[in-house]
Structure 1
Amino acid sequence: MATDAPRSELGEVIVEFTRNGPYVKCSAIHVATGREVSAMGPVHEPKAVERVAIAKLRRALDLPA
């Protein structure tokens, strides 16, 4: 779990990256609920793809942005 502020309110989150050629898939799993979301983007921007996945997870859990 990262320590940055936006993710800290979520609790424990598992983040996994899977590379597929020029793309990377980022899966974010909320440990307490088991809710999983994913996002895809260019392999050279993994942090941006992670931010999108975390934002999707927040929306899926109905948490404020």
Structure 2
Amino acid sequence: MGESEVLFEFTQVGQQMRVSAIDAGTLTEVIVIAPASATRYQMQSLAMAKLKRKLAEGDAQGRAAPPQRLF
């Protein structure tokens, strides 16, 4: 993953937190579910690791994840 900005969104659902991580350069998004009792750092680290893994899979296949249309 390059030096692209990563955006995080946190949404509490009951006793769990839904965390979205979006790579601004490719618009690739991953979602993780974590206990609401976890720290923000733990949640971001988990989401970031999943995002890096997803982006690396695209690179390993010889292509980056294509940008998605917003509209």
**What is the root-mean-square deviation in Å for CA atoms of aligned residues?**
1.9
- What corresponds to 1:53 in structure 2? 47
1:42 aligns with one of 35, 43, 46: 35
SS of the residue aligned with 2:51? helix
Paired residues in the alignment total: 56
TM-superposed deviation, 1:50: 1.6
Determine the structure 1 residue equivalent to 2:63: none
Unaligned runs of 5+ in 2: 58-71
Higher RCO (C-alpha under 8 Å, 6+ residues apart): 2
Counterpart in 2 of 1:25? 18
Percent identity, aligned pairs only?
35
Matches within 5 A, 1:9-24: 9-24=2-17
Superimposed CA distance per residue, residues 19-48 of structure 1 (whole angstroms, 9 cap, x where no aligned partner): 011100110000000000011111121321
State the TM-score, normalizing by the size of structure 1.
Answer: 0.75
Larger radius of gyration: 2
Whole-angstrom distance in 2 between the partners of 1:62 and 1:30: 12
Gaps of 5+ in 1: 1-8
